């Protein structure tokens, strides 16, 4: 029969075991199948096709980078860079043509800016800004054009207003507004047309 002091210790031991297991799970749950090599590289085959499609890099237990093959075609299409364990920036090939078409910047773990190449020539055509990780504004400057060809406004992550330069004269001349369901509620000519710089808050 167990003596009293031993009985008193049992709940603490049980608690320690639970805490250890929780920590273990928190640390590795998403990477439970991961192979970690001596070179501090962790690799995963998420779809089980025998090809590595996710790779993490570590330095002294801190994540320094990652790359992903999201469509499982054997080509990396998303890259991330970390500092002090927090994501700093990422690049993506969103149409899977093996050319990067999106560049993302992060602060305190949240995305703050993204640039996108819409016509696939390697040059960004739009710049989006975010607050608390949620898109606020997107400005279109096709291939680095001096003036803005369009300005899009978002509320709670949904597009609600856009101003466009439809005739390419460098002035925004067309206004469209949407409701919460994405239906157009206003669509009209802006008269007189406005300088793109004035459209941005
Ligand atoms: Ca795979
Ligand atoms: Ca891929
Ligand atoms: Ca691409
Ligand atoms: Ca472009």
Ion ligand 3 nearby residues (CB, 5 A): 93, 95, 97, 99, 101
- Residue of 142, 136, 139 whose CA lies nearest to 155: 136
Whole-number Å distance between alpha carbons of 100 and 93:
4
- Whether residues 3 and 73 fall in one domain: no
Of the ligands numbered here, which is closest to the C-alpha atom of 73? 2
Tell me the pLDDT band of 36, cut-offs 50, 70 and 90: low
Question: What mean pLDDT comes out for the span 85-109?
Answer: 97
**89 Cα–ligand 3 center, Å:** 17
Residues 38 and 26 in one domain: no
**Residues 147 and 55 reside in one and the same domain:** yes
Same domain, 130 and 194: yes
Distance from the alpha carbon of residue 121 to the mean position of ligand 3, in angstroms: 9
Same domain, 108 and 41: yes
Same-domain check for residues 9 and 41:
no
CA of 81 to the centre of ligand 3 (A): 19
Which one, of 135, 151, 91, lies nearest residue 117 by Cα? 91
pTM of the model: 0.76
| Token pair recorded at residue 83 | 């500092």
Beta-carbon contacts of 106 under 8 Å, excluding residues fewer than 6 positions away, are 86, 87, 88, 89, 90, 112
Ligand nearest to the CA of 74: 2
Q: What is the pLDDT of residues 11-20, one digit of tens each?
A: 554 544 444 4
| DSSP annotation of 165 | -
43 has which bridge partners? Answer: 35, 55
Assess whether 194 and 102 both reside in one domain. yes
CA of 80 to the centre of ligand 2 (A): 15
Total domain count for the chain?
2
Q: What is the pLDDT of residues 69-85, one digit of tens each?
A: 999 999 999 999 999 98
Q: Is the pLDDT of residue 1 over 90?
A: no
User: Which ligand is nearest the CA of 95, by number?
Assistant: 3
Q: What's the confidence (pLDDT) of residue 34?
A: 66
pLDDT of residue 38: 62
Q: Are residues 69 and 27 in the same domain?
A: no
Per-residue pLDDT at 194 exceeds 60:
yes
- What pLDDT is attached to residue 143? 87
Range of the domain at 131: 33-199
Is residue 10 located within the same domain as residue 64? no
CA 155 to centroid of ligand 3, rounded, Å: 28
Same structural domain, 75 and 111 = yes
Å from CA of 62 to ligand 3 middle:
29
CA distances from 55 to 43, 64, 113 (A): 4, 11, 24
Asked whether 129 and 112 are in contact (CB, 8 A), the reply is yes
Asked if pLDDT for residue 200 goes beyond 90, the answer is no
Residues 154 and 74 in one domain: yes
CATH code at 151?
3.90.930
């Amino acid at each position: 029969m167990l003596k009293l002091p031993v009985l008193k210790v049992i709940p603490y031991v049980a608690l320690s075991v639970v805490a250890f297991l929780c920590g273990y799970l928190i640390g590795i749950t998403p990477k439970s199948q991961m192979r970690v090599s001596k070179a501090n590289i962790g690799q995963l085959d998420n779809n089980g096709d025998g090809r590595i499609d996710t790779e993490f890099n570590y330095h002294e237990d801190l994540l320094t980078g990652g790359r992903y093959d999201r469509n499982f075609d054997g080509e990396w299409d998303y890259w991330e860079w970390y500092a002090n364990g927090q994501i700093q920036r990422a690049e993506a090939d969103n149409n899977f043509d093996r050319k990067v078409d999106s560049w993302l910047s992060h602060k305190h773990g949240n995305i703050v800016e993204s640039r996108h190449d819409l016509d696939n020539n390697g040059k960004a055509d739009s710049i989006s800004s975010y607050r608390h990780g949620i898109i606020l504004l997107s400005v279109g400057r096709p291939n680095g054009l001096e003036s803005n060809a369009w300005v899009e406004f978002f509320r709670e992550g949904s597009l609600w207003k856009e101003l466009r330069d439809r005739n390419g004269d460098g002035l925004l001349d067309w206004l469209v507004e949407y409701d919460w369901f994405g239906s157009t509620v206003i669509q009209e000519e802006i008269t007189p047309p406005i300088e793109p710089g004035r459209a941005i808050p």
